[in-house]
Structure 1
Amino acid sequence: STLNEIQPNSSEDSIFFLEIVFVSFMLPTILGLGGNGIVLWFLCFKIKRNEFTVYVLNLAIADFTFIFSCFVTFLLILMNLQSPVLEKYFSLVVDIIFYFGYNTSFFLLTAIGAERCLSILFPVWCQCNRPKHLSAYVCAFLWTLSCLITIFSCVLNFLIFTPIMVLSSLILFITVQRRPPQQRHQTRLYITIMVTVMVFLVFAMPVRLTNIVKYWLPELVSARLVYISVLLNIINSSANPLVYFCVREQKQSRLGRKPRSLGSNRSCQL
């Protein structure tokens, strides 16, 4: 489990190890909880939700869940539970929350990239045929899928969702580069999605790769390797609130183009 693997193996370096964990974990954890909490507050109480901000809201919930599980893991390490039974069950619950938040964030980011990719490849079709509550349905499906995958410890998401995420980002990148300079201001949202995916691949994938290595070659996985991979994932989840600010700016920039959008919708209904 994550709790057992991140604990030091010997008493000689336990104090030094915990000091490093405390210093390096607390800052990104606090920033991540605060940043995602602000996103949740804005999207729940201040901003009217649309088809895209629904994804961002669910992404913030998933990231908050993941970071919170890491925070609880750190507290359990500091408490140094003496009861093996309590440690076992606490560790099991925290691990479930840990991978539940991680998998859901992974799936939602894939859905964001895939939908944006479809919207620029087939803009008219998406505008005319996209179901009104598609975002909510997709998010509900992904939460359910994440729950099932977490329960059964399945690693198929690494083989299925990673290629979709990378391919969607590649298509977005090519499309952005081919647009004329006067239209580059409209692509800020797509650039942010690409950067977010790149940050995910760099900072979040080590956790999945560590689990794969641990499954086949457990002797190669040390507590420090698990600690580093979890820390990188916390940094990734703490950076995801930037997606929200880009979405808000994109929404404000669309206000001047609203009449045109209404005209397009009417033409689709004819």
Structure 2
Amino acid sequence: MSSAENARPAYRRVLLKLSGEVLMGSGDFGIEPEMISRLAAEAAEVSRMGVQLAMVIGGGNLFRGAGLAQGGMDRVTADQVGMLATVMNALAMQDAIERQGAYCRVMSALKINQICEDYILRRAVRHLEKGRLVVFAAGTGNPYFTTDSAASLRASEINADLMLKGTKVDGVYDSDPKCNPSAKRYERLTYDEALTEKLGVMDATALVLCRDNAIPLRVFDVYQPGDLKRIILGEPIGTLVERD
């Protein structure tokens, strides 16, 4: 067997945050079956390595509450519809993961008992301890909070060893690498640097939650197949954001 096959995970419990847009793959809207199947296969593989993996998925591929609020919709209503979009994505991910032969539970911050479980911390931790993947849906259950903030909150509550943010770029840059070919990619940042320099890693609430609870964050390109597993095995892929 190769050394990679013998390698042990560097983390025990991990929360993976994905934007809803990631599920679109190469499309412009909705969920691309090939993309969600690949993500589910990688998540299931990590789970089989003994890692307790939780996920939070945004809803921007279906509905973006903040955008419609800017267009005149009541902000609370828009955010509530956005929360329901995250439930739809979570259920789709659950189905894709279970088709990989792994066990998955969706836990919602909103009560939707007929299609998923209510979010209860102790039950969520028990699912993880039993080797089930858990997808946290409906954000925090409150308007005005992003799914990044929900991910940081859930990572703090379950005492995750690492939070991962899968994006379209291979880390955090000092400017948009698509617009500036000379943009500098950071290998490592502190949370205070990310906040002070407004680098757009996550919103300030999410960053402060991770900082205050000493949860390291790694930002990586989720479109690169296999990078999730490589990070779990300890490879320094993307940008690491941590406390001093």
Q: Return the TM-score normalized by structure 2.
A: 0.30
State the structure with bigger RCO (CA 8 A, min sep 6), 1 or 2: 1
Which protein has the bigger strand share? 2
Q: Return the TM-score normalized by structure 1.
A: 0.28
Which protein has the bigger helix share? 1
Structure showing greater Rg: 1
